[in-house]
Amino acid sequence: MAERELMYREALREAIDEEMARDPTVFIIGEGIAERGGSYKVTEGLLAKYGPGRVRDTPIAEAGMIGVGVGAAIAGARPIVEILYVDFAMLGMDMIVNQAAKFRLMTGGEGRVPFVMRTQGGTGGGVAAQHSQSLEALFYHIPGLRVVMPSTPSDAKGLLKYALRQPDPVMFLEHKHLYMTRGMVPDGEHIIEFGKGDIKRAGTDVTVIAWSNMVPRTLEAAEELSLQGISVEVIDPRTLVPLDRAMILASVSRTRRCVIVQEANRRGGVASDICSIILAEAFWELDAPVEIVAGLDIPVPFNLALEKASVPQKDDIIAAVRRALHESPVARAAG
Amino acid sequence: MNEGKPIQNAPSREILEKIFRTAYKIRVFETEGIKLYRQGLIRGYFHPYLGQEGIAAGVCAALREGDFIASTHRGHGHCIAWGASIRKMVAELLQKETGYCKGYGGSMHIADISSGNLGANGIVGAGTPLGVGAALASQVRGSDAVTVTFSTDGASNNGTFLESLNLAAIWNLNFILVIENNGYAVSTRIDESTRDTDLYKRGIAIGVESHQVDGNDPLEVHRVTMQAVKTCRAGKGPVLIEAKTYRHMGHHVNDPGKYMPEEELAHYKARDPVDRARAALKEMAGFSDAEIGAIEAEAAAEFADAVEFSVRSPEVTAESFAAFAQGY
Ligand SMILES: Cc1ncc(C[n+]2csc(CCOP(=O)(O)OP(=O)(O)O)c2C)c(N)n1
Ligand SMILES: [Mg+2]
């Protein structure tokens, strides 16, 4: 199929644009998204195309914005609520956790909440503790939510289009470092179902599981390791809920070694949960303990050197891969 | 509402000098800070307080030791008006361990708890409940300390505004909410985010004494704050003060602010709070040009000294970071 190179933010815009054209109930609200086109320029041009009824600026009122999004979704529309930073989504947690996530079950399966919250997280050059968090684990923990974390323009587009067609509340978590990254995106209707991971690089010696901005970082590490003769398989679940367990278990069973990389701090994180799944389902396939590379269990400091030190870097991933490779039952017995 | 009542008690020479000194110091800090930002010495966010200096200067001159302030993402001015060390502020912006927050906080998080400055805040609207909380703590401890939260037009549309101001009201807290209404939240004009752009009315709606003042008139700001402080210390708080003002530039250093109409900007620049504080000092306290020049030179020298101090300050070390990260 033909494809074009797009920036992540352009791919997101195409997804919104195409879905707005296709489905008149899709609309988007957020701070500075209309005239200004959003802080990350994702919504540029949409106001001119779809008008102020479907592309609306809001006051700084996250609890209200998220809440009306959930309400509109329950009533049959397909709202996208853009929250500038995932950190600010914390103001709307009641609406996400107690309303959106619970509604389907509480109504015996009749009520659905096709609500999409687009936001972004992660560290990004000294924006400090309240603008740098990776909070996917909070949403991951809540049954009823879908958690999506695309790492490439193609995935961003395909997953957002799917989000706007499926029936459940979606936490669509972008990364501030990715908006300007480029990648090939298939022409035509491009939709990626939730729950289908992607092998970003095939390899045989060790599986590294990563998502969001940790994917490009892991690919750099894998490239460097390949020059040293180590073949790394990089897999990206793309959606954390639902999680492509089958892909993870198949890859780990093939390579017999696994490293999980997350930008979020380690405690109570998604990596720990994926690790527990691997240990429960593929323990006997492993030749080494599962390694987790994660952020430090501290808020992200402003100082750039400390910011860097508090989230996984390429060398941290390389070191973890090496540990996973050098650790073997044989070496241990001999050791 | 106060509609330009004549000044009953002209402020003292000391107060006039203090207000100008503070406003000018803020002007220097922001103007020079932006230059440092452009040179790449400052990273992350930097929201200049240019054009709004008269509010922080006027309000803080009405407070005393033992009081509290809470601030916003645009917080440099409040911090300076509260009497902060310029050295420690610049060092913070330069990510140094000698900064107010040891380089961990940055522009949006400068705080000085020991002096009663609860700090700037990266979350719009968060300062209001925090400030009400400080006022509550004062009441519980039997202190007559007053807490001022500097807030914004943007924050007034956030739920925290109503929830916390209402608490302050039902408990008669010594709390002053200063809403700096600069007409914009980033590029969103106030009339796009609220129907009634007179924000002080929201206080009246929940039974809170509320005033609207020209935020570009530092003396008027000071006069109304003095009254508000008196009301609070008499146990009749809270008080809301809406100060109408305007930014001299975009939302943050890298925002060209193209959405700000030229005439509007010109209107407010012609009512520059720093110029007005300077004029008041001359006209009402008889300061000479030379005396004023000396104050200005002092502010410039203090900033230059702070930059030198900060550049010379050692970088944060891995050891201190490791120690700091313990216990989380
Ligand atoms: C809860 C929250 N939502 C959004 C933001 C992003 N943001 C930072 S400043 C700002 C605009 C603030 O406008 P206003 O409150 O009027 O203050 P001003 O910048 O005019 O001083 C926004 C939207 C934030 N920091 N916190
Ligand atoms: Mg404003």
Averaged pLDDT of chain B: 96
Homologous superfamily in CATH for domain B13-324: Thiamin diphosphate (ThDP)-binding fold, Pyr/PP domains (3.40.50.970)
- The reported pLDDT for the residue numbered B8 is 55
Confidence of residue B2 (pLDDT cuts 50, 70, 90): very low
- The reported pLDDT for the residue numbered B3 is 44
What mean pLDDT do residues A209-234 have?
98
| Category of A81 on φ-ψ map: left (φ > 0), alpha (ψ -120 to 50) or beta | beta
What proportion of chain A, given as a percentage, has pLDDT over 70? 97
What mean pLDDT do residues B79-85 have?
98
Closest CA to A137 of A171, A100, A176, A88: A171
- The reported pLDDT for the residue numbered A327 is 63
Return d(Cα A45, Cα B180) in angstroms, integer: 32
Q: How far is the CA of A320 from the centre of ligand 1 (A)?
A: 40
Return d(Cα A79, Cα A72) in angstroms, integer: 7
pLDDT score of B1 more than 90: no
A198-334 belongs to CATH 3.40.50.920: yes
Torsion, Cα of A187, A223, A196, A87 (10° steps): -90
Confidence of residue A326 (pLDDT cuts 50, 70, 90): confident
Taking only the tens place, the pLDDT of each residue in B277-286 is: 999 999 999 9
**Which of A40, A57, A60 to mutate: most B Cβ within 10 Å?**
A60
B297 lines ligand 1 (CB under 6 A): no
B182 lines ligand 1 (CB under 6 A): yes
What mean pLDDT do residues B299-315 have?
97
Residue pair A134/A295 in contact (Cβ under 8 Å)? The answer is yes
pLDDT score of B150 more than 70: yes
Best residue among B130, B186, B190 to mutate for probing ligand 1's pocket (most ligand atoms within 8 Å of CB) is B186
Q: How far is the CA of B184 from the centre of ligand 1 (A)?
A: 9
Q: How do the domains of chain A map onto residue ranges?
A: 3-186, 198-334
Confidence of residue A1 (pLDDT cuts 50, 70, 90): confident
Instruction: Annotate B56-74 with DSSP letters as a single string.
Output: HHHHHTT--TT-EEE--SS
N- to C-terminal Cα distance for chain B?
Answer: 48
Taking only the tens place, the pLDDT of each residue in B213-253 is: 999 999 999 999 999 999 999 999 999 999 999 999 999 99
What mean pLDDT do residues B20-43 have?
98
What mean pLDDT do residues B140-158 have?
98
What proportion of chain A, given as a percentage, has pLDDT over 90? 96
Comparing A3-186 with A198-334, is the CATH topology the same? yes
- The reported pLDDT for the residue numbered B6 is 47
pLDDT score of A184 more than 80: yes
Taking only the tens place, the pLDDT of each residue in A301-321 is: 999 999 999 999 999 999 999
Q: How do the domains of chain B map onto residue ranges?
A: 13-324
Looking from the CA of A113 toward its CB, the CA atoms found within 13 Å total 28
> Closest-CA residue in chain B for A84?
B123
By the 10 Å C-beta count (0-12 exposed, 13-18 middle, 19+ buried), B113 is classed as exposed
Residue pair A147/A239 in contact (Cβ under 8 Å)? The answer is yes
Instruction: Annotate A29-91 with DSSP letters as a single string.
Output: EETT-SSS--TTSSSTTHHHHH-TTTEEE--S-HHHHHHHHHHHHHTT-EEEEEES-GGGGGG
What mean pLDDT do residues B147-165 have?
98
Ligand 1 nearest-atom number relative to CA B180: 21
Residue nearest to atom 25 of ligand 1 (CA): B123
Task: Tell me the one-letter amino acid at B248.
Answer: H
Instruction: Annotate B132-165 with DSSP letters as a single string.
Output: HHHHHHHHHTT----EEEEEETGGGGSHHHHHHH
Averaged pLDDT of chain A: 96
Q: Counting every residue, how long is chain A?
A: 335
- Angle between the N-to-C axes of helices B53-60 and B273-285, in degrees from 0 to 180, rounded to the nearest 10: 50
Chain B residues with at least one Cβ partner in A under 8 Å:
43-45, 95, 101, 103-106, 108-109, 121-125, 154-155, 157-159, 185-188, 192-194, 259, 315-316, 318, 321, 324-325, 328
Taking ligand 2, which is a single-atom ion, which protein residues have CB atoms under 5 Å away? B 152-154, 182, 184-185
Buried b (16+ CB within 10 A) or exposed e, A146-184: bbbbbbbbbbbbbbbbbbbeeebbbbbbbbbbbbebebe
**Which of chain B's residues have a Cβ under 8 Å away from the Cβ of A62?**
158
The pTM of this model reads 0.96
Q: Determine whether the interchain pair A63/B159 forms a contact, defined as Cβ–Cβ distance below 8 Å.
A: yes
Closest CA to B47 of B71, B24, B23: B71
Q: Determine which one of A14, A19, A31, A131 is catalytic.
A: A131
A62: annotated active-site residue: yes
Torsion, Cα of B265, B271, B276, B278 (10° steps): 40
A131: annotated active-site residue: yes
Tokens of B152: 């914004």
Q: What ipTM was assigned to the predicted interfaces of this complex?
A: 0.94
Confidence of residue B10 (pLDDT cuts 50, 70, 90): confident
CATH number of A3-186: 3.40.50.970
Taking only the tens place, the pLDDT of each residue in A127-141 is: 999 999 999 999 999
Residue pair B198/B242 in contact (Cβ under 8 Å)? The answer is yes
Q: How far is the CA of B305 from the centre of ligand 1 (A)?
A: 32
Q: Determine whether the interchain pair A60/B125 forms a contact, defined as Cβ–Cβ distance below 8 Å.
A: yes
Q: Which of B95, B101, B157 sits opposite A59 (nearest CB)?
A: B157
What mean pLDDT do residues A114-131 have?
97
CA of B73, nearest ligand number? 1
